[in-house]
């Protein structure tokens, strides 16, 4: 699919993050978990727990110069379901989690982000809206599309593997509606693409 055909349907993309992450995001842009671990000088002894195993809790990382970064837990990922979904892909659970942690994820709309928001309703959040056009213009070579929620594996998880993330040029509408837009490594120039930032209070 070419860029204009994609933009006809997807003018805005959204990212949902923990509210405590916003000062760091505003300063450094949206970075993948893998990139955060690298920049925040996380000890190698913690890399597996953050990058290659399902995170059962969130990690708050502090850096004397870079400030605070919050790496969210991965409660929506059910490991038994993920193992089933990866059957025949040639990938282990650890490799799949490492792949997810190498990207920043966007939803095609605020409505599409509602399920993730519901899963973390007890926490304050920030909903970040960006221009799809400028994001594509600057980062198309690192941009990938997925036609399903790649981090959800609880009920009848879809088969997945390295080809679940497609460059725009390989995506065709017949393959299914876009459910996720990812950028490898991240979007350090977030301010160049920012449309709106909405702070969402915790729901009690």
Cβ(16)–Cβ(61) below 8 Å = no
Confidence (pLDDT) at 154: 83
| Successive 10-residue mean pLDDT values, the chain, 204 residues | 91 94 95 97 96 94 92 91 95 97 95 86 94 97 95 89 95 87 98 97 86
Query: Residue 110's pLDDT is what?
Result: 86
pLDDT of residue 179: 95
CB of 146 closer than 8 Å to CB of 104: no
Helix (H) or strand (E) holding 46: none
3-state DSSP helix/strand/coil percent for the chain, to nearest 5?
Answer: 40, 25, 40
* pTM greater than the 0.85 cutoff: yes
CB hemisphere CA count around 3 (13 angstroms): 11
What is the structure's pLDDT at 64? 94
Q: Which residues, 6 or more positions from 65, have their beta carbon under 8 angstroms from its beta carbon?
A: none
What pLDDT sits at residue 173? Answer: 76
């Amino acid at each position: 699919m070419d860029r204009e055909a994609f933009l006809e349907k997807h003018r805005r993309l959204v990212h949902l993050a923990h509210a405590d992450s916003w000062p760091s995001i505003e300063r450094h842009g949206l970075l993948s978990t893998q990139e955060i671990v690298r920049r925040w000088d996380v000890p190698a002894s913690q890399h597996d727990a953050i990058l290659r195993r399902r995170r059962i809790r969130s990690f708050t990382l502090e850096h004397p110069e870079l400030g605070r970064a919050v790496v969210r837990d991965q409660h929506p990922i059910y490991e038994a379901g993920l193992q089933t979904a990866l059957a025949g892909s040639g990938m282990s659970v650890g490799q799949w989690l490492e792949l997810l942690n190498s990207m920043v994820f966007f939803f095609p709309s605020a409505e599409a982000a509602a399920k993730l928001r519901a899963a973390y309703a007890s926490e304050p959040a920030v909903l970040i809206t960006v221009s799809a056009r400028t994001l594509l213009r600057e980062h198309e070579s690192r941009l990938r599309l997925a036609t399903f929620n790649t981090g959800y594996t609880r009920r009848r998880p879809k088969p997945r593997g390295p080809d679940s993330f497609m460059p725009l040029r390989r995506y065709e509408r017949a393959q299914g509606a876009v459910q996720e837009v990812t950028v490898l490594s991240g979007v350090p120039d977030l301010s160049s693409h920012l449309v709106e930032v909405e702070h969402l209070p915790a729901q009690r």
